[in-house]
Structure 1
């Protein structure tokens, strides 16, 4: 199993990260422009298409949304309590919490899901929904928490900033188009599909470029606290919630595995976009992804036993 994950999931991810690092060293890429492309086109397109092509029933969709709300709520309370007790600055509170609750459900979670379930359509739809919910969380709480930190409580500007974000609209439109079986003409579906398929490469190349820009400082306590919550506490919460809610079968396995993803690339992209602790964010993404080689292997085994 470890060999399969290394060759089929982790190695492709790190080849792209390495390519981004090399390109940054050679050409000094414009990270601001790359972040804009991700925020305003690629991610909204991927979220819309995931919801538009979803194969889940309404009851299962509601169950997954309920699970996810509880899962994120518990993680947020734990992160909030920890950062407050350690007296972190406002900017660091936002960056730390984002590193814990914003995971890599898309460009890491989707390949892991495909490997673990051998392309099962239900499992893929569940992971797509988790990815969409994660994107919605990223562009609601994730964005607003950083804007609040940078704008020092100017909530009017924070709300206006959120309303300018395209991902929530893409999520709602995708669900509506799916519910009413609205056909998409080829000249619209093709550009959206191309953008969706490019998401993994563009996001990971950007991360690789960011890692070169910000040196890794392994002596940071906040880094290890983030890793502890993201890689160990989060999947533990996921397992307990699946058991408490009585979820069984493929949905149970998919949700358990989804709860064990590393810190998401979007946490780093947000930090770069708004200049909020970008070095810390890039480090949590890289190191949590490296360590996830071990934790996700164990979690897949646990999921299969419990599911």
Structure 2
């Protein structure tokens, strides 16, 4: 079974990431444009389609929200505790905690979910919801934790950043259209379907192009500590919460896989924007993404046993 998962799900993902890395190395792709295409059309289109075609009940939506809230609180508590024990500076504590909380649920998590569940609407809806929560977390806690007391306009900046994100709007509109059973005109829905179908390839090619710009360094202990917590401890927390909440079937499987994503590219974007431990952020993204080829294979295999 693990061999099948590796060949049918994981390796295709990393082949696309590798192609993106090679293309970036040879052609120096315009990452700004690629990111904007992903952020403002491909991902919102995938989220809208997932929610519009969703089979998620209001009770399941509440269970996923509760799972995610508890999941984030536990990781935050552990990240804070480790930061204090290791006597990190305030900036390093923020960067370390962000590396645990802000995972790559978008341009990595959505394609993994799509391939692992073969486009199952329920699984896609769960992952889309997790990604929307991640977006909210990134532009609230993620920004606030790094900025600290540096700026008087801190909260205003965080709110403005969140309001500019298209994913939450796509999520809400998709849910409304789904709940009210409203038809979407073909001239609008067809382009959204095209965007949704292109999401796997474009998102992973973009991710490959993004991570190749980070030079690999192997001399920072805190990077390995972050990666171990992100790839091993976080899914263990996810599994325990799934058991405690009594979740089963596809939603439980999707949440377990979602809890094992590597560190998100947004951690590096925030670190570079505010000049707060950008090298640490870059290393955690690169190393966790490489090692994830092993951990995500195991997680997908384990998820298959959550009936």
TM-score by length of 1: 0.83
- Name the SS of the counterpart of 2:191 in structure 1: helix
- Name the SS of the counterpart of 1:213 in structure 2: coil
2:111–2:199: 8 Å Cα contact kept in structure 1?
Answer: no
- Name the SS of the counterpart of 2:184 in structure 1: coil
2:190 counterpart residue number: 190
Say what the alpha-carbon RMSD is for the aligned residues.
3.0
Displacement, 1:275?
6.2
Matched, 1:39 2:30: no
Output the CA distance in 2 between the equivalents of 1:278 and 1:194: 35
- Name the SS of the counterpart of 2:212 in structure 1: helix
**Structure 1's 16 and 90: CA in aligned 2 closer, same or farther, altered over 3 A?**
farther
2:281 counterpart residue number: 281
Alignment length (residue pairs): 307
Displacement, 1:120?
5.0
Deviates more, 1:127-136 or 1:182-191: 127-136
2:38–2:203: 8 Å Cα contact kept in structure 1?
Answer: yes
1:143–1:162: 8 Å Cα contact kept in structure 2?
Answer: no
1:90–1:149: 8 Å Cα contact kept in structure 2?
Answer: no
Structure 1: tracts of 5 or more residues without a match: none
1:64-213 to 2 correspondences below 5 Å: 64-89=64-89, 91-110=91-110, 112-113=112-113, 120-146=120-146, 151=151, 154-213=154-213
- Name the SS of the counterpart of 1:41 in structure 2: helix
Q: Deviations over 1:41-84 (max 9, x none)?
A: 33223222222221111111111111111111211221233234
Deviates more, 1:96-105 or 1:182-191: 96-105
Structure 2: tracts of 5 or more residues without a match: none
2:53 counterpart residue number: 53
2:53–2:121: 8 Å Cα contact kept in structure 1?
Answer: no
Displacement, 1:147?
5.8
- Name the SS of the counterpart of 1:55 in structure 2: coil
Displacement, 1:157?
2.6
**Structure 1's 40 and 271: CA in aligned 2 closer, same or farther, altered over 3 A?**
farther
- Name the SS of the counterpart of 2:195 in structure 1: helix
Displacement, 1:17?
2.0
TM-score by length of 2: 0.83
Output the CA distance in 1 between the equivalents of 2:80 and 2:286: 23
Output the CA distance in 2 between the equivalents of 1:192 and 1:271: 32
1:20 counterpart residue number: 20
Output the CA distance in 2 between the equivalents of 1:288 and 1:244: 27
- Name the SS of the counterpart of 2:181 in structure 1: coil
2:256–2:303: 8 Å Cα contact kept in structure 1?
Answer: yes
Deviates more, 1:31-40 or 1:232-241: 31-40
Deviates more, 1:140-149 or 1:24-33: 140-149
Displacement, 1:217?
0.6
